[in-house]
Amino acid sequence: MEVTRRYEVGMVLGCLLASGALLLDQPLLLVGGAGIGASLLVQQYRFTRDVLATADALTVTQSISQRRVATDEDTSVAVSATLSEPSPLVAAIEPRPPVTATGRDPENQSFTLPAGERDATTTFSLRWPVAGKFECEPPTVTLTDRAGLFRSTVPMGDAASVTVAPRRPRALHVGMGGESMSTAFGEHKTGDSGVGLDPAEIRQYVPGDTVRQIDWKATARMNTPHVREFDAETDLSTSLVVDHRSSMTTGIEGETKLDYLRHVALAYADNARTNTEPLSLYTVGDAGVTTTRQPDASARHYTAIETRLHDLVSTAEKTATETDRATNGPSGARAQTPREAREMATHLRSEDSAFGRTLLPYVVESKRYVQRIEGDPLYKTVRTYLGGVRGSVMTVILTDDTHRMEVREAARAAQRHSEHVLVFLAPTVLFERGGVGTVESAYEGYVDFEEFRRDLTRLDGVTALEVAPADRIEAILAETRRTRERAAGGR
């Protein structure tokens, strides 16, 4: 409880009258001072009693029109105060939005419930310029007596939270070789034939079927390759593996590799929520795994994963250094596979030259290669955590083309524990600042990326897709057409 300036004036007046009675020897002045003091004490007692009664009878509610919005969008906030019994006190209600929110009509944010009234309400708008999860704290209620002598301020009601998501990157493209997907990503069919437990039918082998689908008994009986299809299991769960290492910062603010891949990951999370399917999340930073959420299908679990994806930022303190570029090669430089290394070693052994003898030790160190891959955070996360997931799993890896050998080995490791593996790749050449300023050089880098993507898709049970700005893909395709026309004209 606080006293107002009016109370202080009353106390000063009472003290002056008491002092005057002593100095002037006037008993009546002392009676007046004592009367003022007694009146103030009675008012204080009544105020304390009314505050307790009003606090018990008052209900304050606070609601936000949308719990999930995009940056720079408006939400409507409604605050109401209701009394079960009229109160002799005046109640001033003051909402407390977060400092990051911008009030669109601040004059409507606070309101008053007059003495003797039972309810009052207000509605105002907030704009959210910053992404993240924020909370409107419980409103404060200031109770004041009619004489204006005392006031008491207490928070009442519940907090209201809102999640502000970054805006969807412009012109999002997801597809293969410049062709966008014909269906919405994030979805997968159920009730169709595929991998499962219940046999559906046997049919002749066609290109594209995996070796594990072949029914060897039927093949031996019919003398031609046949595959057995099964009714797809309905308990398929999705494991999201999201890379947010240093290389994911490439791009302009709000349109980095991570921003584009984040949107794809959120689509899968939304699909899992819609179908009430188990969902797990593993995020990978420069030093290793940064998030582990095991499969679950509860509303709280989905919200926690979506919030984590919204809040995800790169673990880099700065963009890739020149050392990183030297290690991984320039954008588009492709790491050598173990098979290619063995072929090169065979060639160098047959070449009796100083150059061959010098280079040979570097291409036959397969042990060093294995140790490096096993220590890479993406591969290590996939190998460590996906092996413990039970049931039918679809693994979705979201990364870029910076660490190509690691991505390849991570996809292979995921395939051993998954029904299918989807790899969403952000091509570095399409995100570099000025990367498409010279379209011809960007085209060469994109062709190299496309070779890597196709190489991944050739792995059994793996599908690789590109994620990039659509306008940059269109510029690349236009250059492709021009290159083909020039080549055709030169024949």
Is pLDDT at 170 greater than 60 in this prediction? yes
Q: What angle do CA 7, 11, 12 make, to 5 degrees?
A: 115
Alpha carbon distances (Å) from 64 to 125, 130, 163, 484 = 9, 17, 11, 56
* Angle of helix 27-57 versus helix 5-24 axis, rounded to 10: 160
Of the listed ranges 74-78, 283-287, 485-489, the one predicted with least confidence: 485-489
Which region among 9-13, 112-116, 188-192 has the lowest average model confidence (pLDDT)? 188-192
pTM of the prediction? Answer: 0.58
All residues at 6 or more sequence positions from 258 whose CB lies less than 8 Å from its CB, including other chains: 244, 248, 249, 312, 313, 314
* Mean pLDDT estimate for the chain: 78
| Of residues 163, 154, 156, 157, the one with CA closest to residue 98 | 163
Tell me how far apart the alpha carbons of residues 385 and 393 are, in angstroms, rounded to a whole number.
Answer: 12
**pLDDT for position 335:** 44
If pLDDT is split at 50, 70 and 90, which confidence band does 99 have?
confident
Per residue in 308-330, pLDDT (tens digit) is 888 888 887 433 333 333 333 33
